Chain A
């Protein structure tokens, strides 16, 4: 049965700059916002867009991520006529290959897509934080008879060399594209979100697979080669909140954006009706705030027990902050225990860490630190 659109979520990346947080965990599975994992956002966006068929391409440290995705039930993607498949590298008649790049990951799963026979394929990154639906983007793709639509956003010129930068004509069609240019010509950055007309995508992926000089990458190879052959590539401008959390400090910042004092563009409460973010709900008790606790400007998940001071913090389930402990501008991931008298400043505390009695973490306050394996890393 042919379907209108299938989503492919690229979730195999290591996220090297997140250090110990991704030592044994794929970046899309990293904890965020007290109760979520980063991949909840793209998966919820798919669910909220009415997309029913989702492939999640995993590779690096995939066990925990694969278990988490399961059959898609956390996002309602296990209903009638829904399919959520974890697509890890596999052994075939031709041998076994790791995914050699983003395009290769999709290429190696063309059989999965062929089974579904979608008209369009949405390709997403599993480690971006944003809450939206893809309805309008698909509508524009269809209306403009595009072969590929690339979601883009304006970025500061100073950051442009971190992204794929698009050049567009007056009708928003892409006429030039350079992945991570040393001297960017513009500030219109690709968000790594693409809608392809499947037949065209398949043709270009097959051609790329047999090329000698290629990185098998959408930004470096597929998009430029489509532009070179004058295919219709549309730029879809996205103005809402969007974060690619590549570093400890950007992950910390994205967490703090969720607070009442944070970025009003991302408000988990006001987006409930249009872009509900789904996740795995655990069976913890409601959170308990102790008699002498001080809780200011925080986001705290169920199961946390706060007896000390938490100010400007994001706190996951099963976190314990003892009486007399103080945490400022800090993210406490699930299962952390901050013992009495400890003080934690400007920090991301990795899951299940213990901050010992009277220990001071990042007291110098000269930047955001990661506390993992019992030590502070910057």
Chain B
């Protein structure tokens, strides 16, 4: 799709403390092998979108480290490009660190790009979404914007911070309201995914952005829509989708992938998820290892017991150590005889011999990067 530029938007990702203290959610580890933004970038790539801009909000170090040569998500490395779009003024004044100001700061993309459409996708959404039908319908609809949305339940405890779309009796979109847990019935949630015509995007940035300097792009679209300046179509995505909005949900949404019925919806043979690869050797299991219902990444050496857990790259689990219902980030060592249960251990940490650390089922413990326990 040469006429579409994809924008992976890191501005709209929820803060998931304490995991996102030093990294954005988009480049946070998921299932030991991926970063969340791999799904957005793979969806763009698999949809045939080669021109991609990454609207980076903060912690660009972490994003750049994950992106590597940036060729992992590009079909043709000459034709395709992945550009980092960083909002420098936003760094000085966090109030101005919005996707709109980032686009204004990097308006060269609009000048350089010959695309007639821009497809915005959030950096953090976990889904296998084919954007082609939405683009095709958008082109036929003659609307300025197509919003991709999904009907969701449990809005009291999930999709917090996302926009809920409200319709009148005739089914016409009337408003978008941020979800703060106030909805007790199923609602239509914007997936922060929308396709916008180039002239409309330029209009929004030139006419509306100066009036609302702290607004995000989706809000600007809604302002322009309510003023009758642009038209919007709403399309529905009914596939598997998750938006991590809290530490508890990070644990839940990760560990639920151990259920084949769930993971099969996300990982489809026709829809590969690309990621940065590291030339790590296959995982090595010792003679006394015991592993059940777990994901294990390459580079892991497992000599102990692992149950219902996710083990990332270059993790070493010593003899007699037991890991249960836990997520272990890369390059962590868990020494002989240690017990780890309901815990997320961030990168480069060491759990010393025979140390015991247990979180409660609904209240998992987070161990910070580089900790020695």
Contact = CB atoms under 8 A, between A and B. Distances in A.
Interface of A: 33-35, 259-261, 268-269, 272, 276-279, 281-283, 285-302, 314-315
Contacts of B289: 295-297
B292 A290 contact: yes
A282 B272 CA distance: 10
A281 B278 contact: yes
B74 to A, nearest CB: 13
Interface in B263-282: 263, 267, 272-275, 277-279, 281-282
Contact of B32 (A276, A278, A286, A299): A286
Contact of A293 (B275, B292, B310): B292
A314 B282 CA distance: 9
A287 B284 contact: no
Contact of B284 (A277, A279, A299): A299
Contact of A302 (B258, B282, B287, B301): B282
B287 A285 contact: no
Nearest to A291: B293
A35 B284 CA distance: 12
A39 B278 CA distance: 19
Nearest to B281: A268
Contact of B296 (A272, A283, A291, A300): A300
Given A35-B281, A295-B285, A299-B284, A283 B274 contact: yes
A204 B277 CA distance: 44
B285 A297 contact: yes
Nearest to B312: A286
B298 A302 contact: yes
B295 interface: yes
Interface of B: 31-33, 258, 263, 267, 272-275, 277-279, 281-298, 301, 303, 306, 310
A288 B295 contact: yes
Contacts of B292: 289-293
A300 B300 CA distance: 10
Contact of A35 (B273, B282, B287, B301): B282
A269 B282 CA distance: 9
Contacts of B287: 260-261, 296-297
A276 B279 contact: yes
Nearest to A282: B277
Interface SS majority for chain A: loop
A283 B282 contact: no
Contact of A285 (B33, B281, B283, B293): B33
Nearest to A285: B267
A35 B296 contact: no
10 contacts: A35-B298, A261-B287, A286-B32, A287-B295, A289-B294, A290-B293, A293-B292, A296-B288, A297-B287, A299-B285
B31 A289 contact: no
Contacts of A294: 290
B281 A287 contact: no
A370 B303 CA distance: 29
Contact of B298 (A278, A295, A298, A301): A301
B235 to A, nearest CB: 28
B286 A297 contact: yes
Contact of A34 (B274, B282, B301, B310): B282
A285 B282 contact: no
Contacts of A300: 282-283, 285, 296
Contacts of B263: 285, 288
A301 B293 contact: no
A7 B57 CA distance: 46
A277 B279 CA distance: 8
A259 B303 CA distance: 12
Contact of B301 (A269, A277, A282, A293): A269
Contacts of B267: 285
A35 B298 CA distance: 10
A297 B281 CA distance: 15
Contacts of B286: 260, 296-297
Contacts of B258: 288
Contacts of B297: 286-287, 302
Most buried by B among A35, A259, A298: A298
A289 B291 contact: yes
A286 B280 CA distance: 12
Given A35-B298, A269-B301, A278 B282 contact: no
B114 to A, nearest CB: 29
A283 B273 contact: yes
A301 B282 contact: yes
A298 B296 contact: no
A285 B273 CA distance: 8
Nearest to B297: A286
Contacts of A299: 281-285
Contacts of A33: 281-282
A285 B310 CA distance: 12
Contacts of B291: 289, 293, 295
Contacts of B306: 289
B284 A289 contact: no
